[in-house]
Amino acid sequence: MSTRHILLGLLESGPSHGYDLKRRHDERFPQARPLAYGQVYTTLQRLVRDGLAEIDGTDTDGGPERTRYRSTEAGAHELARWAGAITPPAPFVANEIFAKVVVSILAGGDPAAYLRDQRAAHMERMRELTAVKTARKADLTTVLSADFALNHLDADLRWMTTTAARLTTLTAEVDSA
């Protein structure tokens, strides 16, 4: 996910402080990794440097001085370009689970046990996400984000089932190479 574009998108609703942008990011993308404040402010500085955002003023409101940022016309154009660009399917699949299965075979481990344990971890995470999305106060952003994660976990589970059924053949291939 592009932090710079997400922040530009959040700035489209009007000028904001870094603190507010971080809070809104974490609310709008509840299943994403929360942004660190340092990442927000570093990204805002780069957006200003690149002419995609600018400082709109400062507020104190009885506390520390807070800088307010707003998107520029160039920022709005960059956001529109990014949002409209098709995300290409990944040319390479970096799958840590697959790597651990192969390394387990190479090291004389028990890949079947690893797959069982990994499956249990995936199932637990799926139960957590299902609880999140079915909670009384779950908004649509939360539901859609949980659905996205659940679909990816489900794909992993299907892959694990297929791989477990083929472990004998995979082990023979890995051992003969």
pTM of the model: 0.68
Give tens-digit pLDDT for 103-122.
Answer: 888 888 899 999 999 999 99
What b/e readout covers 51-90, taking b as 16+ CB neighbours within 10 angstroms?
Answer: ebbeebeeeeeeeeeebebebbeebeebbeeeeeeeeeee
Percentage of the chain exceeding pLDDT 70: 95
pLDDT at residue 2 above 90? no
Q: Is the pLDDT of residue 1 over 70?
A: no
Could you give the CA distance from residue 37 to residue 21 in angstroms, rounded to a whole number? 9
Residue 89 pLDDT exceeds 80? no
Nearest-CA neighbor of 9 among 60, 59, 49, 43? Answer: 43
pLDDT at 152 over 70: yes
Choice among 21-25, 107-111, 130-134, 164-168 with the minimum mean pLDDT = 107-111
Tokens of 19: 């603190």
CA distance 149 to 125: 9
Nearest to 14 by CA among 57, 71, 66, 58: 71
